[in-house]
Amino acid sequence: MNEWMEGYISDVEYTANYYKELDPNLLNLTAVLNDIEPIPVDEPFNYCELGCGKGITILALAANYPSGKFYAIDFNPSYIASARRIAEKANLTNIYFFEESFQELIDKPDLLPQMNFIIFHGIYAWISDENRLNLIKLCYRHLLSGGFVYNSYNAKPGWNDVEPLQKLIIGLSTEYPGTSLNKMDTIIHKIEKLQEIKSGYFEHKKDSIKNKINKMKAADNNYLVHEYLNKDWRAFYFPEVSKEMENAKLNYLCQASPSEIYTATLLPQEVTKQLSDIYEQNNRELLIDLFVNRVFRRDMYTRGISKNLNSVERHERLLEKEWILINHDKIEAFNFSLSVGNIQGDKKIYDKIILALKNDILSTKELQRLSSLDDNRIIQALMFLYDANYIAMYQKHDKEKVTNLNRVFASSVFEKNRFKYVIAAHIKQAVPMNDINMAWLDGLYKGFTSRKELVEYVYQSFTKLNMSISHENKVLKNSEMKKHLYNLEIKLRKKLLPFWQKLGIL
Ligand SMILES: C[S@@+](CC[C@H](N)C(=O)[O-])C[C@H]1O[C@@H](n2cnc3c(N)ncnc32)[C@H](O)[C@@H]1O
């Protein structure tokens, strides 16, 4: 391991994912739900991600928020080089990359300006005590008063049962040869064998261990290596983190997930009763985490609240928001997976909202009128739908920067490292896209507009690269593949293109 890695994994690349919770619009929405004045994002603002990885989220944000300046930091040169190259290709000029460690940033006080947003996602629980302290120092030095800090981390008590497994995994990693990636499969296999002996910890916590192993087997190995094989790994109780954050004068605001605001009220009545005389924030949060057996937290902090909204201002802001339906496929059950467990939404209410949104983009106020719900209930219903990615906040925006980035993402479909997302300007989000749809987009960007040209382009490209297309469990080849593409192209023109245009993808 190289010294610059400070115990952090670098022989295996981290997954290139987009995280909606890092979006300033989501952070602002969550702030408003908690009666806090949001940070204006249609005027200049600064946003910094410490430990940006491959930078997919911050690249998407830079394209979506032309008035913001985005500072992407990571000590891994490969990540910075590849993210910078994407920004250059897409002509994104409001994103700045720094290949620096947190310690190096501390030593260079003039490198970064003051920030409105400082984000560390998937960092805090995987670095050394000194580096956690560095993050706090960087917040102290670079956060503007009234700014927001986002910090996500593995939480306790949810990790208590499986914490010994992580210790075992990191220990066993020195026993086996090969890259971190190769080691992971061997280690999982070994743990399964150990569990069969039914002794001690393996017997005592067998259900938690089994559950974890099943999750690990289903997960991407690149993710597993970064989750489990870093030298430093810790899960935290909320008060431990909030005390560390206090050193940068940071006060806890809420969790960066709009539906979390309802957690305390959704717990069983006896629990809510027990919480009613607990006022100190650390105690309340800890108790809630114990009641929901929390495994992961996404916390928002602020330094100096600029303004507390009164209930009229809060409702005004929430009622004027506009919503668009983004998922037409899986709308049936309205079973929301929340930290309190699965909550079954009232089908009559949600059907009405979804039906209305199938026809139009509507504001909270308009949806309230149609559903006859009071302010609080319509807002709650929309927050559940938004967190579950059924709907998104809508506002028409200029698409130029987004289109440039989408061209780069779409053209990657025929390269070794493919992107799995495109950016939708009017909802300011990245949306997942499969290879075939990426290929259509790529063809359209390249000017193949007629039906024949477009199908030929996709067909030839797939065939040349030996990429397969499956339909009804059958791998299609030659004329069958072409026929299928002609069918798909009809669907593209009829359904997908109008939808992509509505979202501001194209
Ligand atoms: C788990 S990844 C998360 C990446 C990104 N935030 C995301 O969620 O996709 C952690 C990142 O932090 C970076 N990192 C870890 N320790 C660091 C340090 N001391 N200085 C700078 N970057 C660091 C790693 O290189 C890695 O890209």
Does the residue 275 lie in any domain?
Answer: no
Pocket perturbation via mutation, ligand 1, pick of 20, 123, 128, 229 by most ligand atoms within 8 A of CB: 123
Does the residue 148 lie in any domain?
Answer: yes
Question: Do residues 219 and 344 both lie within one domain?
Answer: no
Residues 173-213: pLDDT tens digits?
888 888 888 888 899 899 989 988 888 999 999 999 999 89
Contact 101 CB / ligand 1 (< 6 Å): yes
Handedness of CA 171, 177, 180, 184 (dihedral sign): negative
List Cβ neighbours of 162 (8 Å cut-off, separation of 6 or more): 205, 208, 209, 212
Give 155 Cα–ligand 1 centroid separation in angstroms: 18
Contact 121 CB / ligand 1 (< 6 Å): yes
Residues 243-298: pLDDT tens digits?
999 999 999 999 999 999 999 899 999 988 988 899 999 999 999 999 999 999 99
Contact 98 CB / ligand 1 (< 6 Å): no
Q: Mean pLDDT over residues 219-242, rounded?
A: 89
Does the residue 3 lie in any domain?
Answer: no
Residue nearest to atom 20 of ligand 1 (CA): 101
Please report, for the domain that includes residue 39, its CATH number. 3.40.50.150
Residue 227 alpha carbon, nearest atom of ligand 1: 1
Please report, for the domain that includes residue 325, its CATH number. 1.10.10
Question: Do residues 139 and 50 both lie within one domain?
Answer: yes
Pocket perturbation via mutation, ligand 1, pick of 1, 2, 14, 103 by most ligand atoms within 8 A of CB: 14
Question: Do residues 25 and 77 both lie within one domain?
Answer: yes
Contact 267 CB / ligand 1 (< 6 Å): no
Statement: residue 332 has pLDDT above 70: no
Does the residue 164 lie in any domain?
Answer: no
Contact 71 CB / ligand 1 (< 6 Å): no
Give the percent of the chain with pLDDT over 90. 72
User: In 347-481, at which residue ranges do the beta strands (DSSP E only) sit?
Assistant: 362-363, 391-394, 421-424, 429-432, 469-471, 474-476
Question: Do residues 111 and 185 both lie within one domain?
Answer: no
Question: Do residues 390 and 489 both lie within one domain?
Answer: no
Does the residue 287 lie in any domain?
Answer: no
Give pTM, 2 decimals. 0.93
Question: Do residues 83 and 130 both lie within one domain?
Answer: yes
Question: Do residues 144 and 177 both lie within one domain?
Answer: no
Tell me, letter by letter, the H, E, C secondary structure of 455-474. HHHHHHHHHHCCCCEEECCE
Q: What is the pLDDT of residue 473?
A: 86
Q: Is 453 exposed, middle or buried (0-12, 13-18, 19+ CB in 10 A)?
A: middle
- Among 212, 228, 244, identify where a domain stops: 228
Give 347 Cα–ligand 1 centroid separation in angstroms: 41
**Total number of domains in the chain:** 4
Q: Are 364 and 323 in contact (CB under 8 A)?
A: yes
Question: Do residues 325 and 423 both lie within one domain?
Answer: no
Does the residue 177 lie in any domain?
Answer: yes
Question: Do residues 138 and 221 both lie within one domain?
Answer: no
Residue 15 alpha carbon, nearest atom of ligand 1: 9
Question: Do residues 252 and 123 both lie within one domain?
Answer: yes
- Among 244, 270, 302, identify where a domain stops: 302
Domain that holds residue 64: 21-157+235-259+293-302
Residue nearest to atom 14 of ligand 1 (CA): 51
Question: Do residues 40 and 109 both lie within one domain?
Answer: yes
Is 44 in a helix, a strand, or coil? coil
**Band of residue 63 on the pLDDT scale cut at 50, 70, 90:** very high
Does the residue 91 lie in any domain?
Answer: yes
Q: Cβ of 60: how many Cβ atoms within 10 Å?
A: 28
Structure tokens given for 407 = 């061209």
φ, ψ at 407 (rounded to 5°): -60, -45
Q: Cβ of 466: how many Cβ atoms within 10 Å?
A: 6
Question: Do residues 128 and 244 both lie within one domain?
Answer: yes
Give 224 Cα–ligand 1 centroid separation in angstroms: 14
Does the residue 10 lie in any domain?
Answer: no
- Among 356, 374, 394, identify where a domain stops: 394
